[in-house]
Amino acid sequence: MRIVRAAVAAWREPYLSRDRVKADPFRTLVACVLSLRTKDEVTSAAAERLFAVADTPAQLRALGPARIAKLIYPVGFYNQKARQLIRLCTQLRDQFDDRVPASLNALLTLEGVGRKTANLVITEAFGLPGICVDTHVHRITNRWGYVSTRTPEETEHALRAKLPRRYWREINRLLVTYGQRRCTPLSPRCSECALAAMCARRGVTHAR
């Protein structure tokens, strides 16, 4: 727990200092679908093109998969994702009155929605407690020795059991940017890290 408190103190600027504005649940959900195996800048541009034309489940269904695929190209697996979005929007109509549910378990019933996406929608769009674990959160918390897990899903469950609830929503935003800039998968910049003295550095094989 000491290292988590230290991380919040060391990295509050700029990662946690900004006011948190709730995102639109449907836009958040669709953007997460688009982001799989796609660079952030490509996802952002594709989502902007798509939402300029359609930003509700009904509007997206009306476009059809071919038009959606054209709008979201070149995200990874754009044809597959276009069909997935149609199925997802159909589920929202048939099961949730065209509204994105504010329940983790309900979100997990949607087409192609995994725990990372469901938790991101819960925390960013609804402001509810959740732990969004991506590769950065998984890698860094294991490097710290705070958890000892093999997969992001195992990490989520371990953090739910161990991490104080007040940090749940923040852990992803705190660690993703730091994982991109400092605690990278290969050759992490440990010499520049304020937590180096208390970090177990498990799995680190470069730049000790």
DSSP state of 18: S
Q: Counting beta carbons within 10 angstroms of the beta carbon of residue 98, is it exposed (0 to 12), middle (13 to 18) or buried (19 or more)?
A: middle
Whether residue 116 lies in the annotated active site = yes
Task: Specify whether 81 is catalytic.
Answer: no
**How many other C-beta atoms are found inside a 10 Å radius of the C-beta of residue 162?**
12
Q: How far apart are CA 206 and CA 137, in angstroms?
A: 19
Which run of H or of E encompasses 47?
Answer: helix 40-53
Active-site annotation holder among 24, 55, 98, 134 = 134
Active site residues: 116, 134
